[in-house]
């Protein structure tokens, strides 16, 4: 009887622990263009549902609510039309300049960013709080799952974090929400309207930050 109670307790503890029993595969790039974007071969739009709700992980969608780039020209959406339950939104274009967008989409956001990129590809803080903000959203002791529309912003975010000292083996570019067919989609686009109030969105008020001299 005692053994049955102990087993039951262990099951309950595992259920309450945030579903962290799935072993994490080492990040591995897909082949072809998706690999060029940095999308993971094992944890992507097809498998991410198996890794949601972990208490050892954070989940971020890197899109803007409304992107100035015309992603409709490549089959996407410039508006954040939906997201995966459990993901929060921190726009990559607020973190660092967007580089090498497909010519079909034109230019995107060109305003203030936490970091700039020098001619050698090094990330330089624009504000005294830049690194503190980055470490708050992307704690180094957690697994980090990144997604965006097609995989590009997520890949740029991973490259940035790794360049600034994060462990690349704990960061997964899940790919693009445009291709997600799982069971945890939260629809934001409602006919011709967008219910942005549904989105757990993190803005950055640059006017409150102290610039680096």
Q: Domains in the chain, start-ordered, CATH in brackets?
A: 21-208 (3.40.250.10)
Q: Enter the pTM of the model.
A: 0.88
**Tens-digit pLDDT profile for residues 89-103:** 999 999 999 988 888
Tell me the average pLDDT across 131-149.
98
Helical ranges in the chain per DSSP H? 2-16, 32-37, 130-137, 152-163
- Rounded percentage of the chain residues whose pLDDT exceeds 90: 84
- In the predicted structure, residue 12 carries a pLDDT above the cut 50: no
- Look at residue 13 and tell me whether its pLDDT is greater than 50: no
Burial call 144-180: b when 16+ CB within 10 Å, e when fewer: bbbbbbbbbbbbbbbbbbeebebeeebbbbbbbbbbb
Question: Quick check: 138 pLDDT over 80?
Answer: yes
When pLDDT is averaged across residues 109-123 and rounded to a whole number, the result is 95
């Amino acid at each position: 009887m005692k053994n049955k109670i102990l087993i039951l307790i262990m099951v309950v503890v595992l259920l309450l622990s945030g579903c962290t029993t799935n072993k994490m595969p080492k990040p591995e790039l897909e082949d072809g263009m998706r690999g060029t974007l940095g999308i993971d071969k094992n944890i992507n739009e097809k498998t991410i549902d198996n890794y949601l709700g972990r208490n050892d992980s954070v989940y971020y969608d890197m899109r803007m609510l409304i992107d100035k780039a015309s992603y409709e020209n490549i089959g996407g959406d410039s508006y954040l039309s939906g997201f995966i339950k459990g993901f929060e939104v921190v726009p990559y274009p607020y973190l660092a300049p967007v580089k090498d967008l497909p010519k079909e989409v034109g230019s995107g956001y060109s305003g203030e960013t936490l970091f700039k990129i020098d001619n050698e590809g090094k990330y330089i803080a624009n504000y005294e709080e830049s690194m503190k903000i980055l470490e708050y959203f992307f704690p180094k002791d957690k697994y980090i799952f990144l997604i965006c529309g097609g995989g590009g912003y997520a890949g740029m975010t991973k490259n940035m974090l790794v360049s600034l000292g994060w462990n690349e083996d704990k960061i997964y570019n899940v790919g693009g929400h445009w291709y997600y067919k799982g069971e945890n989609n939260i629809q934001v686009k409602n006919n011709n309207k967008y219910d942005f109030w549904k989105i757990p969105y993190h803005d950055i008020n640059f006017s409150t930050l102290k610039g680096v001299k």
